[in-house]
């Protein structure tokens, strides 16, 4: 309940005030409070009916000690009206001590391009030019008297972005600025200048401000966004005006006084090098937990012509308004534009990177071991050594990406691994191969975690996996290209002697496994292509279904089950007698290996809230996977077990089974946590929800309002 504030009669006794727009709304309330405090008031309004009504109301409620009020038909946008107003006040009341520039107008909430020139000219004239005329005509008189008070009615819209009311907000920002300038300029003449910045209040302009019908439900909804849990009201604004006009505020000048129940303090935050922006809602990120623009700490987001969309908003009302204007068609157009600018180049980067790693399996078939005199154990170590620096440098690389920015860091690491690959062309022995493989791991470590983190900042929760799958399919394409490239390079022995070898293919063994089935090296290279092509299709399909369902668990477990079937086939079928069945099993295994990576990556990204936490957490996931998976995968295909490789297949069945168990346990844990948080929120009084949401926002994924993706 709003507290009753007692009037201290007489605070404005002997003073005269001219109040524009006093025929209704806020101006009417200020006029009535001023007369109760003893001031004589000129009710200056262009609407004769409203002005005369207010004059009559004040006369009928007049008591001893109250001031008088007289109506003057008044067009505040002309200098003539202000000259007449000064003369009228002096003739009727003897002087003019206070000017309240309260008259204001707006237009129905709509896009800035829909505002007509007539509407624009009107708000400029009423909201800003009227103050200019008041200063030119009244300020010299007050300077002669060596006293005076100017109060300008501004708005909280002058402090913050209001999509749908852009030009109105601009006029109020103008009012705030000139209020401070006038205070500094005219302070030496003992003239105080302040402004009042009210919140949305129940006046005739309410529906124009909100853009929705004025209903009790709408008022209740809006009130929840205010810390004091109620809308603004005319009485509170009038009390503020009385204080600023009285001698109690004789040392107060140059302030823009919010009368907003704490709403500005709740929503506006200061970010270094950005000025003030709001971080409550980010338009177009309909289900995103965080803003989508990279490095918000460093620079404001750029606004694209079509989008006008990466806009940080300070309340749900503005978010809903822009959402209604930015329909699905335009939203999809924006996403396509982001896709075309982001995914092709990132996919190309990863294709090049993965080709470098995939080629060592193909190179083995073309005589790598013979050229460098490698034993099977040395070949495995050449595979293994890559993963130690690759895993160790993923977290530092993502931190470096955050400290710089993707457009700088990713080209640096690409140039670095390109130089390493050039050096690999001159490798002559085992030690040279180890050295180049080690530094290749160092330089390539940052690409995959960096690129996946970058994607997580541009896409919503259930837009992300499909995009990462498209990008990750570059790995499958790289496997296909590696086989095709190796097939061609196999005929180049008479053209060039020095050959450049890349890194690993599918578990470093797919080309070798196919060759063991009885095919020639050239045939084995070509037969890897259908496997990778099928894996690409399954990867994209799995991601599309996962995003459509909004679930990640099934996108992890189902491919694992298919992979287990593939490995069981390899264990139970003789590769010599039935090579075609083993080749079919390779398709099952590829279906497990490629689709699960985007699923795991997106599951992690969806459930880590906070830019730094997400960057480090995703990199740590890759670190564990590459250090353990890469090292183990490089050494489990034992030459002495050829062609059956039972040890490797048993280990992979165990790993996939463990993956299913871990994913199931994680699902149970996340469901339990979400239920616990739902129960917690249900216990919170409805009027406290908005405040609690704001207070716990900095907790990220530990906030009781955060819900984990399952």
Q: Which of 464, 63, 436 is nearest to 285 (CA)?
A: 464
SS3 content of the chain, % helix, strand, coil (to 5): 65, 5, 30
Catalytic annotation, pick one of 107, 132, 141, 168:
168
Distance CA 593, CA 564 (A): 11
Distance CA 187, CA 146 (A): 10
Which tokens belong to 676? 């616990």
Q: How far is CA 186 from the centre of its chain?
A: 44
Beta-carbon neighbour count of residue 38 at 10 Å?
16
Task: Report the interhelical angle of 117-124 vs 166-186 (nearest 10°).
Answer: 20
Q: ∠ CA(38), CA(39), CA(43), 5° rounding? A: 135
Entry field: residues in the chain? 710
Which tokens belong to 388? 């130690």
Distance CA 298, CA 446 (A): 21
Q: How far is CA 464 from the centre of its chain?
A: 14
Place of tokens 């294709």: 351
Burial class (CB in 10 A: 0-12, 13-18, 19+), 693: middle
Distance CA 95, CA 664 (A): 82
Q: ∠ CA(34), CA(39), CA(45), 5° rounding? A: 65
Q: Which of 109, 310, 102 is nearest to 218 (CA)?
A: 109
Q: CB–CB of 622/368 below 8 Å?
A: no
67 Rama sector, left if φ>0, alpha if ψ -120 to 50, beta otherwise: beta
Q: CB–CB of 130/45 below 8 Å?
A: no
Distance CA 310, CA 287 (A): 14
Which tokens belong to 149? 């008070």
Three-class SS state of 63: coil
Distances (CA, A) of 570 to 529, 583, 587: 20, 9, 12
Distances (CA, A) of 634 to 124, 626, 627: 72, 11, 11
Distance CA 660, CA 553 (A): 9
Distance CA 291, CA 288 (A): 7
Distance CA 527, CA 507 (A): 16
Query: DSSP state, 256?
Result: E
> Residue 392 contacts by C-beta under 8 Å, 6 or more apart in sequence?
445, 623, 627
Three-class SS state of 199: coil
Q: Active site includes 168?
A: yes
Q: CB–CB of 13/69 below 8 Å?
A: no
Distance CA 141, CA 31 (A): 22
Q: CB–CB of 175/154 below 8 Å?
A: yes
Active site residues: 168
């Amino acid at each position: 309940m709003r507290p009753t504030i007692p009037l201290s009669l007489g605070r404005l006794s002997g003073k005269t005030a001219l109040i524009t727009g006093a025929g209704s709304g806020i101006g009417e309330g200020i006029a009535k409070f001023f007369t109760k405090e003893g001031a004589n008031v000129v009710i200056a309004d262009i609407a004769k009916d409203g002005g005369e009504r207010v004059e009559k109301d004040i006369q009928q409620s007049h008591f001893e000690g109250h001031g008088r009020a007289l109506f003057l038909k008044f067009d505040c946008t002309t200098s003539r009206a202000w000259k007449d107003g000064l003369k009228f006040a002096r003739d009727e009341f003897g002087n003019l001590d206070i000017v309240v520039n309260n008259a204001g107008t707006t237009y129905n909430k709509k896009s800035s391009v829909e505002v007509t020139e007539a509407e624009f000219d009107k708000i400029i004239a009423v909201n800003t030019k009227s103050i200019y005329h008041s200063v030119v005509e009244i300020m010299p008189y007050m300077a002669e008297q060596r006293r005076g008070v100017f109060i300008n009615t501004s708005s909280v819209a002058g402090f913050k972005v209001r999509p749908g009311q852009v030009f109105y907000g601009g006029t109020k920002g103008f009012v705030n600025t000139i209020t401070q300038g006038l205070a500094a300029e005219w302070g030496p003449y003992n003239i105080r200048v302040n402004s009042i910045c009210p919140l949305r209040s129940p006046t005739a302009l309410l529906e124009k401000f909100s853009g929705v019908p004025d209903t009790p439900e709408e008022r209740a909804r809006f009130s929840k966004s205010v810390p004091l849990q109620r809308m603004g009201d005319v009485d509170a604004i009038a009390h503020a005006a009385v204080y600023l006009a009285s001698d109690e505020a004789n040392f107060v000048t140059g302030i823009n006084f919010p009368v907003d129940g704490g709403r500005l303090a709740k929503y506006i935050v200061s970010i270094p090098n950005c000025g003030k922006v709001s971080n409550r809602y980010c338009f177009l990120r309909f289900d995103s937990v965080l803003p989508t623009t990279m490095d918000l700490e460093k620079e404001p987001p750029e606004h694209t012509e079509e989008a006008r969309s990466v806009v940080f908003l300070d309340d749900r009302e503005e978010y809903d308004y822009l959402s209604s204007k930015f329909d699905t068609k335009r939203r999809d157009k924006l996403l396509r534009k982001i896709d075309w600018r982001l995914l092709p180049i990132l996919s190309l980067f990863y294709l090049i990177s993965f080709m470098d790693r995939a080629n060592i399996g193909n190179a083995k078939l073309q005589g790598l071991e013979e050229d460098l005199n490698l034993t099977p154990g040395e070949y495995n170590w050449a595979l293994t050594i890559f993963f130690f620096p690759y895993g160790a440098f993923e977290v530092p690389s993502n931190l470096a990406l955050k400290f710089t920015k993707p457009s700088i860091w990713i080209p640096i690491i690409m140039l670095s691994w390109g130089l390493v690959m050039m050096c690999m062309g001159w490798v002559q022995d085992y030690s040279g191969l180890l050295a180049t493989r080690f530094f290749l791991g160092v330089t390539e470590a940052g690409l995959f975690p960096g690129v996946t983190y970058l994607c997580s900042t541009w896409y919503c929760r259930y837009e992300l996996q499909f995009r990462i799958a498209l990008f990750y399919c570059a790995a499958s394409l790289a496997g296909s290209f590696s086989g095709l490239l190796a097939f061609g390079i196999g005929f180049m022995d008479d053209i060039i002697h020095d050959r450049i070898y890349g890194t690993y293919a599918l578990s470093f063994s797919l080309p070798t496994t196919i060759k063991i089935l009885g095919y020639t090296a050239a045939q084995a290279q070509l037969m890897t292509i259908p496997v990778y092509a099928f894996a690409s299709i399954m990867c994209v399909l799995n991601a599309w279904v996962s995003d459509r369902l909004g679930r990640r668990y099934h996108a992890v477990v189902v491919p694992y089950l298919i992979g287990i079937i593939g490995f069981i086939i390899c264990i139970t079928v003789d590769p010599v007698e039935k090579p075609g069945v083993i080749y079919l099993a390779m398709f099952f295994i590829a279906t497990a290996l490629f689709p699960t990576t985007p699923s795991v990556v997106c599951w992690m990204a969806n459930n880590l809230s906070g830019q730094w936490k997400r960057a480090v957490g995703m990199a740590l996931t890759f670190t564990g996977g590459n250090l353990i998976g890469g090292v183990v995968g490089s050494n489990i295909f034992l030459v002495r077990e050829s062609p059956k490789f039972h040890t490797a297949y048993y280990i992979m069945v165990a790993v996939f089974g463990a993956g299913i168990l871990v994913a199931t346990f994680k699902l149970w844990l996340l469901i339990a946590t979400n239920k616990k948080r739902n129960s917690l929120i249900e216990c919170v009084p409805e009027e406290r929800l908005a405040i609690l949401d704001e207070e716990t926002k900095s907790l990220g994924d530990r906030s009781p309002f955060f819900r984990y993706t399952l």
